[in-house]
Structure 1
Amino acid sequence: MSRWNQLTGGTSGQDYAARFAALARSGKDVHGEARFCAALVPAGARVLDAGCGTGRVMIRLAELGYDCVGMDLDASMLAVAQRQAPGLPWFQVDLAGFEPDLLGIAAGFDLVVAAGNVFPLLAAGTEATVVKRLAAILRPGGLMVAGFGLDEAHLPVPPTITLPEYDDYCAAVGLTIVDRFATWDADPYEGGGYAVSVHRR
Structure 2
Amino acid sequence: MEPDWVALMKRVRDDRDKAAFADLFTHFAPRVKGFLMKSGADATTAEECAQDVMTTLWRKADQFDPRRASVATWIFTIARNRRIDMLRRENRPEPEDLPWGPEPEPDQAEVIGLQQESALLVEALKALPEQQRDLIEKAYFGDLTQSEIASLTGLPLGTIKSRIRLALDRLRYLMK
TM over 0.5, yes or no? no
Instruction: Please state which band the TM-score falls in when normalised by the shorter chain.
Output: 0.3 to 0.5
More helix by share: 2
What is the TM-score normalised by the length of structure 1?
A: 0.30
Larger Rg: 2
